[in-house]
Amino acid sequence: MLFDLIRSQEGPVSILKKALDHGRVPTAYLFTGPPGCGRMMAALATAASLNCQSGAIACGSCSSCLLYSAGNHPDLNLIGLPEGKRQIVIEQIREQILARAYLKPMSGETSTFIVQDAHLMNMNASNAFLKTLEEPPATSHFILIATDRDSVLPTISSRCQTLAFSPLPRQVVEDILVKEGIQKAEASLLAAMAKGSVKNALVYQSTGALEDLAGEFEPLSSLHNYGVGQLLDLAQRWGRNRQDALGVLEFMAQWYRDMMILFEGAPEDQVIHVAHIQELKKGADRIGGVNLASILESVEDAREAIEANTNVQLTLDTLLLGVRNHTLPTEKSA
């Protein structure tokens, strides 16, 4: 069965199976959670179940289920962010949903429309899609996939049954990566960095992000010793472009999170960068809990600012100068 392939999402999977068993599948679902946690697999399994030739729950072996698994069933419609674009626009909704939703299914009893990255629909696209939900066709179902409920227009989310998918446990992500052929040591670090998302881990692995960021351990360990000129040079290197800056900020957040975990006495197996455990312990003792909390807040503020298209260089300049001030010697009791 296709649902059996979904790991560590017993809650939402149980709800979906119960709805399918009783023939009470709502017109629209909203699946929320981090990318790569099983939302898309659950959407495909639900769609396959609606047209499964063997019963109410997707068997995974009939010709219909096999087509759904491959994303090629004629009654499956996938709507996503076009390559190189930052929003789902109204033209997509008109062409891929409005023009098809009221047509008779081509093969099975129902058509399913899966909107990936639904939180990236702009206002015009959202309003166009809303019209379909207000007068839904009898033979169509809709599954929206988004980061969280609040990222979707309230008038849309209120017409959907929301199912929240959780970040995957670190060990589950690691096991999946090993099965993908990644060495265990690398898989362990990728899983720790991925925040419960297989997709995030695979992106780190495919882009060589681990190797790129490995050279930043030394600067992070030495920020409190850097002069103003060195900090500004570092900010210039880290701020070559918006994407590089966001990657470094994610790395900084992990670094100082590890310090906070160690400062609070949490088990070392919760640390991401275990190879640098001694540096992290020394840093945690020197910086102190209050300063670590302030640094983490500053890093998050910088990330939000850069995502909102503020000046990357100025943002990093301000962040690193502020972090240096927080890394002046303090007592652990601070």
Q: Is the pTM above the cut of 0.85?
A: no
Query: What confidence score (pLDDT) does residue 212 get?
Result: 64
Q: How far apart are CA 287 and CA 266, in angstroms?
A: 17
Q: How far apart are CA 106 and CA 281, in angstroms?
A: 62
Q: How far apart are CA 21 and CA 57, in angstroms?
A: 7
| φ/ψ (deg, to 5) at 235 | -60, -35
- Same fold across 2-164 and 207-326: no
Q: How far apart are CA 39 and CA 57, in angstroms?
A: 17
Domain residue ranges of the chain, discontinuous segments joined by +: 2-164, 207-326
Q: Which residue has the tokens 């994303």?
A: 71
- Domain 207-326: which CATH number of 1.20.120, 1.20.272, 3.30.1380, 3.30.1490: 1.20.272
Q: Which residue has the tokens 């690398």?
A: 186
Query: What confidence score (pLDDT) does residue 211 get?
Result: 65
Angle, CA of 189, 202 and 10, to the nearest 5°:
85
Query: What confidence score (pLDDT) does residue 86 get?
Result: 85
How far CA 108 is from CA of 71, 96, 139, 189, in Å, comes to: 15, 18, 10, 44
Task: Give the three-state DSSP class for 140.
Answer: strand
Order of strands, sheet of 76-79, starting from the edge strand that comes earlier in the sequence: 76-79, 111-115, 140-146, 28-32, 161-164
Token readout for 214 is 């490995």
How far CA 128 is from CA of 100, 116, 144, 151, 207, in Å, comes to: 14, 16, 14, 17, 36
Read off the pLDDT of residues 72-82 as tens digits, 9 standing for 90 and up.
899 999 999 88
| φ/ψ (deg, to 5) at 60 | 85, -5
The angle that helices 39-50 and 10-21 make with each other, rounded to 10 degrees, is 10
Cβ atoms within 10 A of the Cβ of 30, count?
Answer: 26
Read off the pLDDT of residues 170-222 as tens digits, 9 standing for 90 and up.
889 999 999 988 988 788 878 877 888 888 888 878 777 666 666 667 787 78
Q: What is the DSSP letter of 118?
A: G
Per-residue pLDDT of the chain (334 residues; tens, 9 = 90+): 889 999 999 999 999 999 999 889 999 999 999 888 999 999 999 999 999 998 778 998 899 999 998 888 999 999 998 887 889 999 999 999 999 999 999 988 899 999 999 999 999 999 999 989 998 888 999 999 999 999 999 999 999 999 999 999 988 999 999 998 898 878 887 887 788 888 888 887 877 766 666 666 778 778 878 889 999 998 998 888 887 788 888 888 988 999 999 999 988 878 888 778 888 998 898 888 899 999 999 999 999 999 888 899 999 999 999 988 875 444 443 3
Read off the pLDDT of residues 256-281 as tens digits, 9 standing for 90 and up.
999 999 999 988 878 888 778 888 99
Question: Which CATH number describes the domain made up of 2-164?
Answer: 3.40.50.300
Q: How far apart are CA 132 and CA 147, in angstroms?
A: 22
